Amino acid sequence: MAGERFLSPEPVVELANAFARPFDNAVATARTCYSGKGIVTEDDVTGPPGLDPDARRERLDRRDALARSIYQAGHHTTLQHAHFQFRLDRVSRHFIWSFLHSHPFYNSEQVSQRYVAVKRGNYAVPPMSDAAREAYESAVGFLHGEYESLVADLMAPASEEFFALFRGRRHTASRWEKTIRKKAMEVARYVLPVATFAYLYHTVSGITLLRYHRLCREYDAPLEQRLVVEKMVAAVLAHDPAYRVVLEEPLPTEETVEHAVAAAFLSGRGKPATRAFLREFDESLGGKTSVLVSHTAHAEAAVASAVREVFGLGRAEMSDDDALCRVLDPALNRTFSEALNLSTHSKAMRALYHAHYTFRKKISHTADSQDQRHRMTPASRPMLEAHFTGEPDYVTPALIATRPAVRERFDRAMRRAFSAAAALLEMGVPAEFAMYLLPNATAIRFTESGDLLNLHHKYRMRLCYNAQEEIWRASLDEVRDICRVTPRIGRYLLPPCTIRKMASAKPVCPEGDRFCGLPVWNYGLEEYQRVI
């Protein structure tokens, strides 16, 4: 892999914002823990301006020795204080999904394919032979062309659905063309390859950046990961070279657990075995997007008991029903009507941590790229090449599924994308690079877990009819399953408008001009249905 480069333009990495002296700050925070003289500052670590050079060198040596010591001992919280904000451009959606957003310790704001049209030519081209590149770029060009055609083809179906919701707006149809086009783009993007470029702000702490560097050669996209992370680290070292003191070399791919398992179990494994796994997984869903596979035993009693403990109350003074209502009923807990998510900071509401639910689910790559932004409901996502059979394996959006003519175009694009990826493998292109051709619609199968406190927040956001359709559908499946096993909890897992209505907050819908057009706050879960 050393020396390999993408054939497309290099990723752009710029350090946008950072602490002035981040490494000195990390050591200052460490020394403060044992300081009897108060807060230790960065100047206390390196010495005041004008200090004798020999004396400063001695201080720097002590700084570096302490930094190495606490780093090796695993005392890494000192490295969390300093954060680095990067501007990233010309990075693939595949890389973002597989690496940047596959963990909880970051913040990103990236360009949306739901609301920003994707232009031709903006995609990653991994290293490959001239013949393979020609086939690769031909397939990407075809998919980008199909995206543009689908946007046009979906305008009429999207208009039909939109004006069915907002009948009064038909009289001013031209005013809503941009809104409808965004609905069409949101669905058409399913044909775009995951190689498509994105740009974003990405912020991480010092310890997360060190972890990036150490593990940048893991699956699924080790070359792109290494190239981007090397640039991130170089930018930080240019800002503060002292980080070299604790910077380790990347762990070789061969030393990762994923490589060890793949070598032991996947080498020489035939496609029939992979097909059997996919079939077994899909059958376990029973036609649903997401199914509950595990949950905390006696979850309602555990949460109720924890609520009582916060207040020092016995069961005779507060029943389980009353305890659950006090923290979950918006009419009694008005913090649910706040724009800020305050649950983590509330003593009583932290009792919701003690109920835990695990789901098996199948959604598209593009939907999962949004689902994983709920960082406190983590998942074990797959190595894409381990699920690849060469046969079309994708999720079809509802707006396309209900229109035969549009679906025919969509299915043809899917067949082309998967067959092109399989052809690259036949040409000797490594699986790592062939997977860049997979479309956004590619099915992602995984297991996801969360505690009630964080699931409550997720469902409040994703049961909104403005949420991405697949995540909305998965959330609905999950809430219905939670209602089945813990009905006293499940009845309070609701979209934002219903919660605000129960809390007597006005307006009931918090979305303003983005109102979905339906009085969802009057619906029961069994009545929820949507296409766009």
pLDDT tens-digit series, residues 368-380: 999 999 999 999 9
Domain final residue, candidates 240, 260, 280: 260
- The pair of three-digit structure tokens given for residue 149, joined into one six-digit string: 């055609």
> Distance (Å, rounded) from C-alpha 213 to C-alpha 104?
16
Domain that holds residue 219: 12-110+197-260
pLDDT of residue 474: 97
Residue 207 has pLDDT above 60, yes or no: yes
Residue ending a domain, among 243, 260, 277, is 260
User: Which of helix, strand or coil describes residue 201?
Assistant: strand
Question: How far is it between the farthest Cα atoms of the chain?
Answer: 80
The string of pLDDT tens digits covering residues 350-369 is 999 999 999 999 999 999 99
Can you give the pLDDT at residue 1?
54
> How high is the pLDDT of residue 115?
87
Does residue 10 surpass a pLDDT of 80?
Answer: yes
74 and 204 co-located in one domain? yes
DSSP-derived pairing of the beta strands 83-92 and 12-18: antiparallel
Q: Which helix (H) or strand (E) holds 285?
A: helix 271-285
**Residue 210: CATH number of its domain:** 3.30.1360.170
Q: Does residue 306 belong to any structural domain of this protein?
A: no
CA atoms of 212 and 232, how far apart (whole Å): 10
Percentage of the chain modeled with pLDDT above 70: 99
Residue 85 maps to a domain: yes
Q: CA 493, CA 472: separation in Å to the nearest integer?
A: 13
For residue 141, being part of any structural domain is answered with yes
pLDDT tens digits, one per residue of 23-70 = 999 999 999 999 999 999 999 999 988 899 999 999 999 999 999 999
> Based on the domain organization, do 105 and 162 belong to the same domain?
no
Residue 202 sits in the same domain as residue 180: no
- Specify if 444 maps to a domain: no
Amino acid identity, position 344: T
- Residue 474 inside a domain? The answer is no
Residue 22 is predicted with a pLDDT of: 98
Q: Are 357 and 449 in contact (CB under 8 A)?
A: yes
DSSP state of 253: G
pLDDT over 70 at 250, yes or no: yes
Same domain, 240 and 215: yes
Q: Are residues 87 and 154 in the same domain?
A: no
Query: 202 and 106 in contact (C-beta within 8 Å)?
Result: yes
On whether both 144 and 248 belong to a single domain, the answer is: no
Residues 99 and 209 in one domain: yes
Mean pLDDT of the chain: 96
113 Cβ contact partners less than 8 Å away, ≥ 6 residues apart: 93, 185, 186, 189, 192, 196, 198, 366, 440
Domain-embedded: residue 216: yes
In a 10 Å sphere around its CB, with 0-12 CB exposed, 13-18 middle and 19+ buried, how is residue 180 labelled?
buried
Question: Where is the domain boundary, 238, 260, 282?
Answer: 260
Mean pLDDT of 494-498: 96
- As a whole number of angstroms, the distance between CA 481 and CA 122 comes to 41
Q: Are residues 205 and 100 in the same domain?
A: yes
pLDDT at 520: 94
Beta pairing, strands 197-205 & 83-92: antiparallel
Q: Which of 437, 440, 430, 445 is nearest to 383 (CA)?
A: 445
Same domain, 175 and 42: no
Q: Please state the φ and ψ torsions of residue 36, each to the nearest 5 degrees.
A: -90, 0
Contact predicate 162/107, CB 8 Å: no
Is residue 284 a part of any domain in this protein?
Answer: no
Residues 32 and 142 in one domain: no
The band of 269, judged by pLDDT with boundaries at 50, 70 and 90, is confident
Do residues 247 and 212 both lie within one domain? Answer: yes
Q: Are residues 61 and 88 in the same domain?
A: yes
Report if residue 224 sits inside a domain.
yes
pLDDT-based confidence at 114, cuts 50/70/90?
A: confident
Average the pLDDT over 497-522 and give the result. 93
**CA 366, CA 370: separation in Å to the nearest integer?**
7
The total domain count for the chain is 2
From the list 27, 63, 83, the residue with the least C-alpha distance to 206 is: 83
Residue 307 is inside which H or E element, if any? helix 299-311
Question: Which of helix, strand or coil describes residue 412?
Answer: helix
Task: Provide the sign of the torsion angle of the four alpha carbons 14, 16, 21, 26, taken in this order.
Answer: negative
Average confidence (pLDDT) over 117-129:
95
pLDDT band at residue 2, thresholds of 50, 70 and 90? low
